[in-house]
Amino acid sequence: MKFEEFGLSPELLSAVKKHGYDEATPIQEKTIPLIIQGVDVIGQAQTGTGKTAAFGLPILEEVDPKNPQIQALVISPTRELAMQTEEELNKLGSDKHVKTQVVFGGYDIRRQIHALKEHPQILVGTPGRLIDHLNRHTIDFRGVKTLVIDEADEMLNMGFLEDIETIVHYTPDDRQTLLFSATMPDDIKKIGVKFMEDPEEVHIASKGLTIDLVDQYLVNTREYEKFDAMTRLFDVEQPELAIVFGRTKRRVDELTKALQLRGYKAAGIHGDLDQAARMRTLRSFKKGELQFLVATDVAARGLDISGVTHVYNYDVPQDPESYVHRIGRTGRAGHHGVSVTFVVRGEIDYLRAIEKLINKRMAALKPPSAEEAHIARLKNAKAETYAVLGKTTIDNVEDEATEIANQYDAKLIAAALLHALSKDDERTRPVDIAQEKPLPRRHSSSDHGHNFRSGRSNGNRGRNGHSNGNRGGRRGGFKEEFVIDRGHKPVDRRNQRIQARPKGVAKAAPKKREFKIVKKS
């Protein structure tokens, strides 16, 4: 279906064209007309299939650029995703002169307050910072006509739910509410429906939850062999741009250091890094200056980085939905991708739960041996040698080149080049990665990952926030003392409450929250 058929205004159609969109994707085709009609919508479609524009375009259609109020609010789970969504809405709305703004933690709030005085019509934000602004009366949601809860199943899970309830209380009752995600477990959907009125559900039917464009493999391995298995695969597969997911922040730090030690261009991203460092890393990765982005689940949802060819799950994700989102960072917008998930004995139940959710068996991949990896590196070094020779001239190095050629045999010189380019020594350096125990046994393989047996796994130290998926007790069987706005530093909100409501909003202030570590037995 062509975008013209939606009856969108010419300013939006020109922006869509500039964006290079020709045909609407299935989720766009189904949801755009409904949203324009004002219906509440639950939109579920596979990763990378254009859900942002599916809610963005109809919102932009309805926004009045002459009205200075915030007319649409989009809540996102991570800062990076909030930024990306705002950028996309900004581009699509630029010809219509719609003002957009993003607010998230880790940045000077005064600057955001200053920018809010420009009166954006669309605001995108992460829950923690939106609540900060509500506390300070620096945002007013009385003009909100449409509320979007993006990555809705994540946002309505225990870790975020209270924040969402708080924010929703500040928006008008007659607003339109939209929930979007690639995954939507029934129990979470039931919670979402409470914020909606007669919602229409749009589920783009497909064989499975994951995109067919991603070839999904698994590697059965042992914990102590995992890193070598993964790097040997790198040497054989030569991924152009890859994301490696680790379960915890410590894991991400260790993997990043170890990859760097072995000469890979890698950098890590997780919630304990300051925002400037996170953004720097993401920018370098997008520019292709890094080959590997090592990340916790902070990068699992929504991030649209073109050219990601491979996703490696160094640790099997704790909940199956997380798997869908992680591997959805590749195979986007019609491109092909590969995912590899490493599974240690004792975590097979998790693999089965994933396979059940995605309705697909992953193909087992035998990790390359040290010899096979060496041969692959040599093959690449040979290709590189020819490429280098093809563009090398004697200019500027004549004397030195003659000196070396007089002393050494040509074969030896070629061997030196091959050794240097294959990085054989670097690639086999010993590294130090703490061995983690497997995840605790799954309680049930039919619960879609939302009801794990109690207690922490040894690898998941308590306040890891998003990285262990145990934010609110629902998944991990314990309540955390800290609420984490995904990717933010832990915020102790035990004594925090909303102090006041914006004028004229007759909603009860939410109850004081108490977060304690409570191990369920």
Ligand X SMILES: Nc1ncnc2c1ncn2[C@@H]1O[C@H](COP(=O)(O)OP(=O)(O)OP(=O)(O)O)[C@@H](O)[C@H]1O
Q: How far is the CB of 265 from ligand X (least distance, A)?
A: 24
Binding region for ligand X (CB under 6 A) out of 21-29, 33-41, 212-220, 381-389: 21-29
- Contact region with ligand X (CB under 6 A), list: 18-26, 171-179, 225-233, 241-249: 18-26
Contact segment (CB under 6 A) with ligand X among 24-32, 105-113, 165-173, 256-264 equals 24-32
DSSP codes of every residue in 101-151: EEE-TTS-HHHHHHHHTT--SEEEE-HHHHHHHHHTT----TT--EEEEET
In the 8-state DSSP scheme, what is residue 15? H
List the one residue from 11, 40, 43, 48 that touches ligand X (CB under 6 A): 48
- List the helix and strand counts (H, then E) for the chain: 18, 16
To which H or E segment does residue 35 belong? helix 26-37
Burial of 349 by CB count in 10 Å (0-12 exposed, 13-18 middle, 19+ buried)? middle
Distance CA 59, CA 393 (A): 58
Of 259 and 308, which CB lies nearer to ligand X in the complex structure?
A: 308
Q: Measuring CA to CA, which residue among 253, 227, 202 is closest to residue 312?
A: 227
Question: What is the Cα–Cα distance from 386 to 372, expressed in whole angstroms?
Answer: 21
Cβ distance to ligand X smaller for residue 160 or 227: 160
> Binder to ligand X among 12, 13, 15, 24 (CB under 6 A)?
24
Give min distance, CB of 168 to ligand X, in A: 21
Q: Which is nearer to ligand X, 298 or 373 (CB)?
A: 298
At closest approach, how far in Å is the CB of 497 from ligand X? 32
317 or 473: whose CB is closer to ligand X? 317
Min separation Cβ 246 and ligand X, Å: 20
Assign residue 97 a region (left: φ > 0; alpha: ψ between -120 and 50; beta: otherwise): left
* Cα separation, 25 vs 398, whole angstroms: 58
Instruction: State the amino acid at position 395 in one-letter form.
Output: D
- Measured from the CB of residue 150, what is the shortest distance to ligand X in angstroms? 8
Among 120, 128, 199, 328, binds ligand X (CB under 6 A): 328
**Closest residue to ligand X in the complex (CB):** 50
- State the minimum distance, in angstroms, from the CB of residue 333 to ligand X: 3
One symbol per residue from 290 to 319: x for binding ligand X (CB under 6 A), - otherwise; what is it? ------------x-x---------------
What is the rounded distance in angstroms from the CA atom of residue 283 to the CA atom of residue 401?
39
- In degrees rounded to 5, what are phi and psi of residue 420? -65, -45
Binding flag, residue 25, ligand X (CB under 6 A): yes
As given in the structure block, the two tokens for residue 389 are 């020779």
Q: Which of 35, 53, 214, 308 binds ligand X (CB under 6 A)?
A: 53
Nearer to ligand X, 28 or 126 (CB): 28
Instruction: Quote the least distance from Cβ 382 to ligand X, whole Å.
Output: 36
Residue 442 binds to ligand X (criterion: CB under 6 A): no
Binding of ligand X by 337 (CB under 6 A) = no
Candidates 51, 278, 474, 479; binder of ligand X (CB under 6 A) is 51
Neighbouring CB atoms inside 10 A of 174's CB total 8
164: enclosing H helix or E strand: helix 158-169
State which residue, 46 or 121, has the beta carbon closest to ligand X: 46
Judged by CB, which is closer to ligand X: 324, or 353?
324
Stretch that binds ligand X, among 23-31, 156-164, 397-405, 434-442 (CB under 6 A): 23-31
Q: Minimum Å distance from CB 53 to ligand X?
A: 5
- Cβ proximity to ligand X, 23 vs 426, nearer residue: 23
CB of 330 to ligand X, least distance (A): 10
Give yes or no for residue 332 binding ligand X (CB under 6 A): yes
Residue 182 binds ligand X (CB under 6 A): yes
Q: Which residues contact 506 (CB under 8 A, 6 or more apart)?
A: none
Pair 8, 93: CB distance under 8 Å: no
- Taking CB under 6 A as the rule, does residue 47 contact ligand X? yes
Residue 512: CB minimum distance to ligand X, A: 34
Read off φ and ψ for residue 347, nearest 5 degrees.
Answer: -115, 15
Provide the minimum distance between the beta carbon of 78 and ligand X in the complex, in angstroms, as a whole number.
11
Sole window of 41-49, 233-241, 384-392, 463-471 interacting with ligand X (rule: CB under 6 A): 41-49
- 33 Cβ partners below 8 Å, 6+ apart? 6
Is position 422 an interface residue for ligand X (rule: CB under 6 A)?
A: no
Q: What's the closest the beta carbon of residue 237 comes to ligand X, in angstroms? A: 23
Q: Which of 100, 147, 97, 144 is nearest to 127 (CA)?
A: 147
The size of the interface with ligand X (CB under 6 A), counted in residues, is 17
Q: Tell me, letter by letter, the H, E, C secondary structure of 166-235.
A: HHHHCCCCCCEEEEEECCCCHHHHHHHHCCCCCCEEEECCCCCCCCCCEEEEEEEECHHHHHHHHHHHHH
Residues that bind ligand X (CB under 6 A): 21, 24-25, 28, 47-53, 182, 302, 304, 328, 332-333
